[in-house]
Amino acid sequence: MTRSLHRILVAGAAGFIGSNFVRHLRRTRPEVEITVLDKLTYAGNLANLADVEGQPGYRFVRGDICDDELVNELASQTDAIVNFAAETHVDRSLMDPFAFLETDVRGTAVLCEAARKHEHEVFLLISTDEVYGDVPEGRSAEDDAFRPRSPYSASKAGGEHVARAYAESFGLPLLVTRGSNNYGPYQYPEKLIPVLITNAIDGLPLPLYNDGSAVRDYLYVEDHCRAIDQVLHEAPLGSVYNIGTGSETTGLQVAEAVLEIMGKPRSLIEFVADRPGHDYRYALDVSRITELGWEPQVTFAEGLERTVRWYQEHHEWWRPLKSGEYWEYYKRNYRPLAGR
C-alpha cells in the first residue's frame, strides 16, 4: 500500500533528525507542502534548515507543541503530523525532568488532540528504543513491555502511551517508529559522537562514562530518515516499527574509531564518572521494518568517516554552540571517575 500526503506538519524539525528528514522529503517528494513547527530550544537551530528556507511549499513557524491554539491552527491547514519535537538528551533529563514531561508527554497529547479534531490522515510519532530500557540479553521486539529507566525514556514512553490511548479511544490514525542511536550531520554536540569528534578536533579529552562498555546500535541519520519516510507512506495504520541496524558498538569502540579516522592519540580518551541509571545495552529486533523493504545503506565505518569530515568542514555550525550555557552544562555533567 502507498498513501499520498499533501500537507505535512513536521514538529521539531529544527533539530538534528527532523532537519535531515525535511531535507530528505524535499529531495524525494518535492510536491509535498511542509510546515515546520519548532520552539527553537537550545537544541533547535534555524541554520539546520537554511538550505530549504525560502523554497516554495516550505514554511517555518516558531512555536511550542504545548500551545494548543497554535497547534490547532496549524493542524487545520495540514493533513498529517510527524512529531520529532522533544527534549532528547538523557543527561539533561537527570537535571530537569519536568521539561521532558512537559514537551514529550503533554506536547504529544496536544498534537494528538489537534490531529483528531482536524481528522488528519496520519499521526507519526518518532519514538525511541530507550522505551524498552536496558536489555542485557536478546533483542527488543515491538510488542515487548516498556521498562524506561531515565526521565527522558519515561517521558517518551508516556508520550507513546498517550498516542496509543488516542488511537484506541478516538481512532487516531497512529504510526510509531522506535529508532536506535542516530548520528550524522547537524547533531548537537552533547550526544556521544559529536562530543567525541569536536573535542578531538580541539585536542580536548574524549569523556567515556565508567569504562566505555555501554552498547548502542548506531544508525546513520539518512538511513533513519528513509525508514521514517517509508513508514509514513507505506505502513498499515496502527503499526509500530523498530528502526536500527542490528549492530552493537561500545562507546570505547566509537572513541577509538573517531581517533583512528582523525589520526589522534588514544591518550585523549578519559574515563569519567558514570551516568546515573545508565542503560548498558539496547538491541532491537528489526525484522518488521526489514519486511517492509527497508535496510540500512550506510555502514558504521562509512557513516562515521562522513560525520567526522562534516564536523571538520563545518566549524561555523558547531563552534557557536559550544559556548556559554553549553560549558556550564558540560562542567555540571562530567565528573571524575571515583578513585582517580
Which positions touch ligand DAU (CB under 6 A)?
Answer: 88-90, 128-130, 180-181, 191-192, 195, 207-209, 212, 214, 216, 251, 275, 282
How many other C-beta atoms lie within 10 A of the C-beta of residue 52?
19
Place of cell 521498562: 147
Coarse DSSP helix, strand, coil percentages of the chain, rounded to the nearest 5 percent: 45, 15, 40
Among 35, 44, 196, 230, interactor with ligand NAD by CB under 6 A = 44
Q: State which residue, 173 or 184, has the beta carbon closest to ligand NAD.
A: 184
Among 58, 60, 84, 209, interactor with ligand NAD by CB under 6 A = 84
How far apart CA 220 and CA 20 sit, in angstroms, is 11
Q: State which residue, 214 or 232, has the beta carbon closest to ligand DAU.
A: 214
Least Å from the CB of residue 265 to ligand DAU = 18
Nine cell digits for residue 262: 582523525
Q: In sequence order, what DSSP letters do the residues of 278-309 get, joined into one string?
A: ---B--B--HHHHHTT----S-HHHHHHHHHH
Catalytic residue numbers, as ranges: 129-130, 152
Q: How many residues does the chain have?
A: 340
Per CB under 6 A, the segment of 85-93, 193-201, 253-261, 324-332 that binds ligand NAD is: 85-93
How far apart CA 296 and CA 286 sit, in angstroms, is 11
Q: Which of the choices ligand DAU, ligand NAD, none does residue 226 contact, using the CB cut-off of 5 to 8 A by kind?
A: none
Q: State which residue, 38 or 79, has the beta carbon closest to ligand NAD.
A: 38
Is residue 88 part of the contact set for ligand NAD (CB under 6 A)? yes
Least Å from the CB of residue 178 to ligand NAD = 7
Q: Which residues, other chains included, contact 309 with Cβ-Cβ below 8 Å and sequence gap of 6+?
A: none
Q: Which of the choices ligand NAD, ligand DAU, none does residue 207 contact, using the CB cut-off of 5 to 8 A by kind?
A: ligand DAU
Is residue 109 part of the contact set for ligand NAD (CB under 6 A)? no
Is residue 116 part of the contact set for ligand NAD (CB under 6 A)? no
Q: Where does the chain have alpha helices with state H?
A: 16-28, 68-75, 90-93, 97-100, 108-117, 151-170, 192-201, 221-234, 251-262, 287-291, 300-313, 315-318, 325-333
Residues that bind ligand NAD (CB under 6 A): 11-12, 14-18, 38-41, 43-44, 64-66, 84-88, 103, 107, 126, 128, 156, 179, 181-182, 188
